Chain A
C-alpha cells in the first residue's frame, strides 16, 4: 500500500515566505556588492584619467612636476576603492561590505569633485551614488553615505569655507543646508526602498503560497492516482471473484435444471399431475437464476478484461429473421406485435455473432417485457458515417418509457428504471449493461431515447468490420 506525506500546515507558508524573502534579499545584496566592486575599479580608473586630462602637471616657472592630483587619483583613489572592491568580491552580501561601499562611494565622490576642479556637474556623482546605493533596497546604507557627505561639508565649512560655499566666512550651520538637499533625496530613496521591500515580501508570500498549492495539488493528484489504482484493483478482484463464483454456481444449477426436466418427463410418463407444477416452478426458477449468473459472468469477464470476441462473417438479414422467430413467444406473451424492417442492402457483417445476437435479444426481450398490448419494431439498415460503414439496429417499443434521469443510468449494471420496476417486471438490471459493454467491445455504441409513458427507442451502431476498428488483442480466432 502506497503511503503519502501529509501536506505542510498553513503556517509553513509564512515560514517559507520568510525564507524566500531572506534569500532574495541576500541575492540582491551580493549582486549589488559585485556591481559596486566593478564600479569602484571604474571610478578609480576614471579618476586617474580625469587627473591626467585636467591637471597633469604643476608648474613652477619653467619647471614642471606631476600634479598632486595625479598622485592623489592613483594612490588615494586606489586606497578608497580597493577595500570596498575587495569586500565586494570576497565578502559579498555582508552588512559591513555595503556600509563600507556606501562610505567609499561618497569619499570617491569628494575626490572626483576635487579632481575635476569642483565642477558642479561632478556633484551629481553624490546624488547618483545615493540612487545607486538604493539598489540595495536597504535604507540603512543611505545613513553612512549621508553622514560622510554632511561631515565633508561641515569640516570643509569650518576650515576652508570658500571651497564649499564660495565665501570666506560662512555660518557654522550652512553645512545643514547642503545636507538637507541630500536628505531630501534620501527621503524618496527611503520610501522607494521600503516599497521595494514590501513588494519583495509580497512576492515571497505569493511564491510560497504557489509552492504550497503546487505541492498540495501534486499530493492530491498522487492520492487520486493511488485511489484509482486501488479502485481498479478492487474491481478486478471483484470481477475475478464473480467470474469464478458464477462458474462454480452454474455447475450445480445446470444439474438442478436438468434433474427438474427429467423429473418432469418422469411425472408426465407416470401421469402424475400433482408434482408437475412444483417441478415447473423449480425449472423456471433455475433457468432465471442461470440467466442471471450468465449475465454476471459476462459482465465480470468484460470488466476483468477477459472477454474475447469470436469474429466471423454472417448475414445480418438471416440473423434478424432468426431472432424474430426466437423472440416471438416472448413478444406475444404481453399481447404485443413485433414489426421488423430490414433493408435489402444491409448485407453481411464481420463481427461476433453470439454477442450481436445477445445484444438484440436483450433489447427485444426488454422491449417485450416493458410493453403491454403495444408494438415492438426492429429496424435494421446499413449506414456510412464519417467514412465508416456501420449496421444500425433500432429497437422501438410503445412501452412504459423512462425519465431523463433513468435514461442516464440505464446502462449501468444492476440498474433498472426504479425499484418498483424490479418488483413489477422482474429482471436483474444486467441486460442493458451487458449490451453497452458488448457494443463498446465491438467498436460500436448504444444510445437511448425515451419518453415516460410513451415508449423507448434503443439504437445500436456496430461496425461492419469489427477487426478494422478494435484492438486485435480483444478477439480470438
Chain B
C-alpha cells in the first residue's frame, strides 16, 4: 500500500529534528545568558571597614559633615558605572559630603598607570578629592578589597554605610546603594547600611 504523500513522513521527521534543534538552541543560549547574568550579579569581597574613622590614615575626616570614601581600581571597566553612580549621588544629595576618590597604584606598575579615563572622570566630580593610593595602603586601612566600595562616615567619624553603588557588575542605573547614600545625604537616615559591591578585586591573591 502506497501513501498518498510518500515524503510526508520525511518532512514530518525533518520538522521534528528542526524543533528539537531549536529547543536545544534556546536552552543553550538561555543557559549562556543565565551564566552572564550570574557573573554580573556575583558580588566582590565585602569590605571589613572600621566602624570609626581609622587612625593612621592620611585622609582627614570632615568634622562638620559626612565623609565619603570611594576606592577604585583605575583599570577596572566595571568601576566606570560606579563613578557614574557616584556623580549621580553627589548631584542629588542635599548635603555635600567631603569626598575622597582613591585610585590604587600598586608598587610594581609604571608611573601613570593609575591615570586612566576613570581618574579624569572622577576629577570632574564636584568637590571630590582624587588621590593616588600607593600600594593600596589606604584601601587596607579601610579594609576594602573590591573596586567601587563606598564608605560613608558621619561627622562623628562613625561608619554609617559600606557597600557598592551599582546594581550589578558594571551595570548603570538606580540601585539600593545609591538610594541609601542619597537618603543619608538628604534625610540623614537610610533603610540599609550595607550593600553588595560589584567590581574588580583591588588585590590579586599574590599581592
Contacts and interface: CB of A to CB of B under 8 A. Distances in A.
B49 interface: no
Interface string A45-61: 00000000011111111
Contacts, number: 124
B47 interface: no
B142 to A, nearest CB: 17
B87 interface: no
A123 to B, nearest CB: 10
A76 B207 contact: no
A202 to B, nearest CB: 33
A445 B22 CA distance: 85
Interface string B163-201: 000011011111110110000000000001001000011
A163 B198 CA distance: 11
B41 interface: yes
Nearest to B202: A61
Contact of A72 (B30, B36, B202, B203): B36
A59 B75 contact: yes
Given A160-B41, A162-B167, A117 B172 contact: yes
Interface in B38-76: 39-41, 73, 75-76
A83 to B, nearest CB: 5
Contact of B173 (A57, A79, A103, A120): A120
A119 B81 CA distance: 10
A61 B167 contact: no
B37 A72 contact: no
B135 to A, nearest CB: 11
A68 B36 CA distance: 8
A156 B73 CA distance: 28
A69 B33 CA distance: 11
Contact of B75 (A57, A76, A104): A57
Nearest to A110: B33
A76 B204 contact: no
Contacts of A83: 21-22, 25
B185 to A, nearest CB: 18
Interface residues of B, number: 49
B148 interface: no
A168 interface: yes
A100 B19 CA distance: 10
B22 A118 contact: no
Given A55-B77, A79-B25, A163 B32 contact: no
A103 B28 contact: no
Contacts of B15: 96
Contacts of A162: 41, 167-168, 175-176
A163 B22 contact: no
A107 to B, nearest CB: 6
A61 B207 contact: yes
A222 interface: no
Contacts of A75: 32
A114 B171 CA distance: 8
A111 to B, nearest CB: 6
A161 to B, nearest CB: 9
Interface string A417-456: 0000000000000000000000000000000000000000
B78 interface: yes
Nearest to A103: B26
B25 to A, nearest CB: 5
B106 interface: yes
A140 interface: no
Nearest to B39: A68
A250 interface: no
Contacts of B192: 168
B17 to A, nearest CB: 11
Given A60-B200, A168-B176, A118 B39 contact: no
Interface string B78-92: 101100000000000
Nearest to A53: B77
Given A162-B167, A166-B173, A57 B77 contact: yes
A117 B80 contact: yes
Given A110-B33, A114-B36, A114-B40, A67 B168 contact: no
Nearest to A64: B75
Given A59-B200, A61-B207, A166 B167 contact: yes
B111 interface: no
Interface in B4-32: 15, 18-19, 21-22, 25-26, 28-30, 32
A213 B164 CA distance: 75
Given A62-B204, A72-B36, A76-B29, A166 B174 contact: yes
Nearest to B168: A163
Given A100-B25, A114-B37, 5 more contacts: A54-B170, A83-B25, A96-B19, A100-B22, A114-B40
Interface of A: 54-64, 67-69, 72, 75-76, 79-80, 83, 96, 100, 103-104, 107, 110-111, 114, 117-120, 156, 159-160, 162-163, 166-168
6 contacts: A61-B73, A111-B33, A118-B171, A159-B41, A162-B41, A166-B176
For the complex of A and B, the 9 pairs showing the least CB-CB separation, nearest first, are A166-B174, A61-B204, A162-B167, A76-B32, A55-B77, A118-B171, A59-B200, A163-B168, A160-B41
